Structure 1
Amino acid sequence: MSNIKITCVIVDDEPMALNLVESYVNKTPFLSLKAKCNSAIEAMEFIKEQPVDLLFLDIQMPDLSGIEFSKMLPKNTRVVFTTAFDQYALEGFKVEALDYLLKPFDYAEFLVAANKASTWFSLIKEKKQSNVSNQKEFLFVKSEYKQLRIKLADVLYFEGLKDYIKIWLKNNPKPILTLMSLKSLEEELPETNFMRVHRSFIVSLKNIDVIERSQIIINDQRITVSEQYKPRFLEFITNNSL
């Protein structure tokens, strides 16, 4: 039995299929059902407000297919496809689905897929814990012909300006300017402490003072969380709220 809780949503345009998968989820101790949706559009609106770990997702639905919808999901939201049509199996694995359930499936088949999801999320959790214990404490950045040692604990946020980055630090009214792209910097930062929230900003999660609607306030600076990065940021808020 898994020692983690996996939040999930069921998406299917057939009421009987929705109810069947709901009964399977309710039998599985490590799954926590957050919503049942009868279309991908409805599910999209739900997870914008309340991100989840896993979707049990039908493929053939009106307006927006499960395959199309899966390509729009945040990177940390995974999918188990449920469908009556086996010709979609290859497409399902191309979009990195955790599993593919061919209707009609019984609880034993469902549980195999659920356990695959549990194994995947357990590995991700272990990786994050390992990253925390081996986190970088500083970076060297080139600025004005010098290599400056920047303590990551002192960073408030990074601001991207075309090919340059401004590094805003605690107790330092002027930023450090370095020639680097925000994308390459993002890959070097520990994701448990830093998050990209806008095309031009990566923020220190530990130094956020206030969250007000779609804005973060750090040291009196207001930074807007853009739509592209909102699902991941909402997940961070959910995981750290009372």
Structure 2
Amino acid sequence: MSNDKITCAIVDDEPMALNLVESYVEKTPFLELKQKCSSAIEAMEIINNEPVDLLFLDIQMPDLTGIEFSKMLPKNTRVIFTTAFDHYALEGFKVEAIDYLLKPFDYAEFLTAANKANSWFELKRGTKKHNISEEKDFLFVKSEYKQLRIKLADVLYFEGLKDYIKIWLKDNPKAILTLMSLKSLEEELPNSQFMRVHRSFIVALKNIDVIERSQIIINKQRITVSEQYKSKFLEYINNNSLH
């Protein structure tokens, strides 16, 4: 990455969409546009010769779809999908896209996705110590076509399902559902406040009510601490216990 900017390319067979994303890239300080292409076939040749860090990639294109093309990209190239069809979200998730923008999207939505990419690359470069700044007190999550601002202080725990995450909040009997992996979420959370204790659960440490043998109780919900995460959790307990 030159000067720590994220190099990127745009691939879209609609000229208006191509130009719109280009205008968004140009007003985003940490992005550097290298190429724009009107088909995946054209992009394939260009990107193989000059790889980029990030691709803004339309899904529904003739000859080769964005999903198919994403599986052929160099290992270090990440993808943000852009599409007018919401039923592609799950496929985008399965190929580990950083985000998924549903057309028509505005600059605020674009910037949220670009910031996710920026966080990912900063973690990769090691300019962030494992986690985002400990001062961070909220996250934006996409749910039902909206970006919801979630206060971290209100989170009880995150529950991972097969392709989604349930976010359980204080004073909210219904969970917020978002398309994301627990692993990628874990990278975004401050590790002084949250800990993964099970393949399917990340808990808010300050909201633990009771610890009973290998179980945590938060808001009457019992969560088992699995063997894989037990030693780290016990270390936390020991460091915060009266001896």
- TM-score (ref. length: structure 1): 0.51
Alpha-carbon distance in 2 for matches of 1:106, 1:97: 19
**Would you say 1:90 and 2:94 are equivalent positions?**
no
Q: What are the Cα deviations for residues 120-162 of structure 1, in whole angstroms up to 9, with x where unaligned?
A: 00000118999xxxxxxxxxxxxxxxxxxxxxxxxxxxxxxxx
The amino acid across from 2:61 in the alignment is M
The amino acid across from 2:101 in the alignment is L
Q: What are the Cα deviations for residues 157-181 of structure 1, in whole angstroms up to 9, with x where unaligned?
A: xxxxxxxxxxxxxxxxxxxxxxxxx
**Would you say 1:74 and 2:62 are equivalent positions?**
no
Correspondence 1:18-167 to 2 at 5 A: 18-126=18-126
Q: 1:4, CA displacement in angstroms?
A: 2.5
Alpha-carbon distance in 2 for matches of 1:71, 1:23: 27
Match of 1:16 in 2: 16
Unaligned ranges ≥5, structure 1: 131-242
Alpha-carbon distance in 1 for matches of 2:23, 2:127: 32
CA contact (8 A) 2:123 2:129 kept: no
Alpha-carbon distance in 2 for matches of 1:9, 1:62: 18
Alpha-carbon distance in 1 for matches of 2:8, 2:38: 14
Secondary structure, aligned partner of 2:126: helix
User: RMSD over aligned Cα, in angstroms?
Assistant: 1.9
Alpha-carbon distance in 1 for matches of 2:32, 2:76: 17
Secondary structure, aligned partner of 2:7: strand
Q: 1:34, CA displacement in angstroms?
A: 0.3
Alpha-carbon distance in 2 for matches of 1:27, 1:127: 23
Q: 1:48, CA displacement in angstroms?
A: 1.1
Q: 1:75, CA displacement in angstroms?
A: 1.1
Alpha-carbon distance in 1 for matches of 2:34, 2:114: 16
The amino acid across from 1:87 in the alignment is H
Q: 1:44, CA displacement in angstroms?
A: 0.5
Alpha-carbon distance in 1 for matches of 2:105, 2:128: 34
Alpha-carbon distance in 2 for matches of 1:129, 1:90: 30
> Structure 1 vs Structure 2: percent identity of aligned residues?
81
Alpha-carbon distance in 1 for matches of 2:51, 2:7: 9
CA contact (8 A) 2:101 2:110 kept: yes
- TM-score (ref. length: structure 2): 0.51
Secondary structure, aligned partner of 1:52: coil
Number of matched pairs: 128
CA contact (8 A) 2:11 2:36 kept: yes
Match of 1:204 in 2: none
Unaligned ranges ≥5, structure 2: 131-243
The amino acid across from 1:88 in the alignment is Y
Secondary structure, aligned partner of 1:8: strand
Q: 1:74, CA displacement in angstroms?
A: 1.0
The amino acid across from 2:73 in the alignment is L
